[in-house]
Structure formats: C-alpha cells, structure tokens
Amino acid sequence: MFSVPRLLHVSSTPSRIVRSMSLLKSQGYINGKWVPASTGETFAVCNPVNNSIITEVPDMSVEDTTQAIDAAKKAFQRFRTTTAKERSDLLRCWYNLMLQSSEELAEILTKENGKSLAESRAEIKYGNSFVEWFSEESRRINGEVLQAPVRNRKLLILKQPIGVAALITPWNFPHAMITRKAGAAIAAGCTCIIKPSEDTPLTALALGKLAEDAGFPPGVINIVTTSPKNSAVVGKLLCESTDVRALSFTGSTAVGKILYNQCASTVKRIGLELGGNAPFIIFEKANMDLAVAGAMASKFRNTGQTCVSANRFYVHDKRFDEFLQKFKEKISGEIKMGDGSLEGITHGPLIKSSQVETIECLVNDALEKGAKLHCGGKRLDNLGPLFYAPTVLTDVDESMEIYGKEIFGPVAVIHRFKSEEDVVKMANSVPVGLAGYFYSEDLSQIFRVTEKLEVGMIGVNEGIISCAEAAFGGVKESGIGREGSTHGIEDFLDIKYLCIGNVQH
C-alpha cells in the first residue's frame, strides 16, 4: 500500500540536520498535493515578537474543506485495511523524520508562536513522543473473546477504525496537539483532516511535509488552513458532515460547547480537551523549595498560556509569606523575556493583542478594587507590542473579575487558606476541572486530597505532569475523553460485537 523511504542523514551535531528541503510551507495539503485556496485568497502568519510577517498561507473555504473530506473518505476505504504492523512502521518513519528535523521544527514553532527555543525544543520532543507511542500502540488494538451463555455460540468483540477524523488544534502547542491526535487516529486506521489555529499553521504544514516524506498515502493526512473569516464555517462543516465520523478539539470551553452542539446532528464521536482553571495548593507540610520550583514551571510555561497552567494559588496561612518571598525571587532571577530565538531568553510574548488586552484589563480591574501588586502589572513595550511582565497579585476577592477566572497569561493570583476542608472547597468551586496541583509531605493528606479534588489530572509535589504514557483530559466542563496513554486511541475505534450461533461441537 505504501513505501517507507530511507531515512535522511543526520549530522554528528544534534542541533543541525542535513536536509535537502525546507519545512516552511505556504500551501495547504489535500489528497497528497500542496494546493492554494480555491479562491486564491491568503492570510499572513506573523511573528508575535514584533508582528512581522513570516509568510502567507491559503485562506481555505468550505469548498476546499469538502475536497479534503472527500479525499480522506476515499483514502479511508484502503487505509482501513492496512495491518497494524504497516501503520506502526508508517508512524515510526514519521517519528524518525520528526526526530531528525527537531531543530528546524523548533525554529518554525518559535517564529509563529513566540515561545523560547528552549520551550519549543521541549514541545517538539514531547510532541514527537506521541507518534512514537502510538506507533507501538497500533499493534495492541486487540479484540476480545467472551464467554457465551450457551454451548453453541461464540462471542467476539472486534475493534475497527471509526472513519474520517477531523482534528482542530490550538496555537499554544501547535506541534504536540497535532501529534497527540493524529498519532492515535492513524494508529487506529483512520484518515485525518487537520485544521490548525490561524495563528500557528506553519508547524502543522511542516508536519504534513514530513508525513509526505514518510510515505503516507494521499488523503490519509489533509491540512486545511483558515483565517478567522473562514474558521467558523469550516469548523461547522467538519462537525456537521456525515462523512466525518469523529471530531477531536483542543481549545476553549466556549468554542468546545459550540462544536459539541454542531456535532449532535450526526451523533459524531467527539473528544474535547477544553479550558482549565488549575488550583495550586501548598499545604503547611509542603517542601517549600519543591513547591516554588513547581509553581514556576506550572505557572509560567509558555508565558502562562497553557490549559494546565497553575491559575489559582492557595497557600497555607503559616507558609504564605515564605512562599511569596521565594516565588518573587525566582521570578526576578530566572525569567528573561524577549525574542525567543535569542540566546538566554526564557519566555516570549503573548500570542496576540487581544490576549494582552484581556490580561491588562483583568489586572487593572483587580488593582482598582484593592488587590495588592507585588511585581509586574504592566506591558513591556520596550520588548515588543505583545509582552506583559510576570505579575503577582494578592488580596484578590470575589468582587474582582480575575477571581476564579482562567487567566491564560503570566499572572499569578495567590490566596491564603487555613484548613484542608476550606481549600478543597475553593479548589472545586469552578465549573471546570482539567488539572490540579498540590504540595504536601503528609501521606494521608495526599490520598485524602487526591480523592476529593474534582479534576482529571493531579500533580502531587510536581508541576509538570504531561507525557505520552499518561491519560490527558478533564472532568466537568473541561472536556470529554482522554488523549495519550492506552486510552487515547479509543476515540477513533468502533466496537463491533459478533455472535456466531449454532457452532457444532
């Protein structure tokens, strides 16, 4: 069905890959071909450091998306018959090419997203791991033999690929969110239409080029790029098309609810990884140095623009002043903001002006109503139009808009608490439940709080919890389903029950 090309040569210097082509693409990818939009329209992809234009990509429409759906549907009829070993080899080849191209992928990611090269390299490594993981999981999609209630029957459970899968991915992890979804879908035997964020389509197109190099059959992976003008109608088509049988989305809860509603008309299989509002609790018996290090990693990764970022800090009254002082010292000593492509820069800008304006309004509202500012609280216009200083606020109460709100920026709101019962109640007081973190050296407390926190993932004495082996997802309004782990492939599989009767013994 497909051939796996010989791997490209890797130089002895890990950061420099010998390649005969660039991964920076400026066309969409449909049915194995690089194509413009049918209308000829394009939109600019900008570097958030200075808003300079990197390149322009096609502003694809409903017509283009229909072509991608048709291509994926046609390809599925053949791809579904591949063996698990064939799909495993295909994914492994894709992974190997990603590995070889890691530095170029990181450079593209930094240009369009703004995160530092160090963070981009970490995301590429993390994203690559999902393709490696699902290349192995594809060979573990096993059915079941059931015990029949009568003598002359044989009962079987078969697992089969669900069909065409639409994958709508966000700007904050433009590499890892694609590989986490596409790796699972392809391992199951599905074909894909990827719709990346309009802010970061270049990483998706680079992955499409590597998939082409890896020998993916035409139509197995399709990439549709859209501007905000076409994004909603294209998303609606992916949700309502009867030829698309699964939809996986990572993004805000508000948009997730719209897509959930739109998928109802076709009773589509849906996976939603939505907003979070992670509590970060430091109990009296916490190791404070670990807690501060974990707070830095969890709060400020990607300049606070992650769905699992620590969002509401709760510190035991007896440890509050100690944590606040050490936290401010770490922020001052370890964070260096600027152009992520430069040496020594740890954190980049926010993704777009609307994000900066939202953060600024939240902080200003809190300060006007009596919150106390310990650092930051302002734009860093000397660095660029989208930079906002790492900020710490205390004395925040319910009258302030920032209270209980997912911030999605480099702003830490720190509250005091006195009892375990009170802090668990506060942690569970929001309608979402993606991730949560707490620090304690009390083993009994660890088990008690773990059971009571209403979140899908918990970091205990740890601020970075994501990996390919773990089940990623939330509860309440933070989503449906799980990504990664052995469970990540389930959204792309149908279960078929087979009853064979009148078997003669």
* Cα–Cα distance, 60 to 162 (Å, whole number): 26
Of the candidates 274, 52, 307, 279, the residue with the CA atom closest to the CA atom of residue 172: 307
The catalytic position among 119, 273, 406, 420 is: 273
Burial category of 385 from C-beta neighbours within 10 Å (exposed 0-12, middle 13-18, buried 19 and up):
middle
* Cα–Cα distance, 87 to 99 (Å, whole number): 18
- CB distance 63 to 224 below 8 Å: no
Q: Find the helix packing angle between 84-100 and 176-188, rounded to 10°.
A: 160
Q: Which residues pair with 458 in a beta bridge?
A: 436
* Cα–Cα distance, 415 to 394 (Å, whole number): 6
* Cα–Cα distance, 237 to 70 (Å, whole number): 12
- CB distance 169 to 195 below 8 Å: yes
Which residue blocks in 247-393 are alpha helix, DSSP H? 253-263, 288-300, 320-334, 353-368
Which residue blocks in 313-471 are alpha helix, DSSP H? 320-334, 353-368, 420-427, 443-452
Terminal CA-CA length for the chain: 40
Q: Is 398 helix (H, G, I), strand (E, B) or coil?
A: coil
- For residue 155, CA distances in Å to 23, 151, 257 come to 49, 11, 38
Torsion of CA 477, 480, 484, 489, to 10 degrees: -170
* Known active-site residue 401: no
Torsion sign over Cα 241, 242, 243, 245: positive
- CB distance 498 to 291 below 8 Å: no
Burial category of 336 from C-beta neighbours within 10 Å (exposed 0-12, middle 13-18, buried 19 and up):
exposed
Of the candidates 309, 314, 279, 297, the residue with the CA atom closest to the CA atom of residue 462: 297
**Which amino acid type is present at position 213?**
D
DSSP string, 226-256: --HHHHHHHHHHHHH-TTEEEEEEES-HHHH
Query: Which residue shows structure tokens 């506060």?
Result: 426
Residues serving a catalytic function are 273
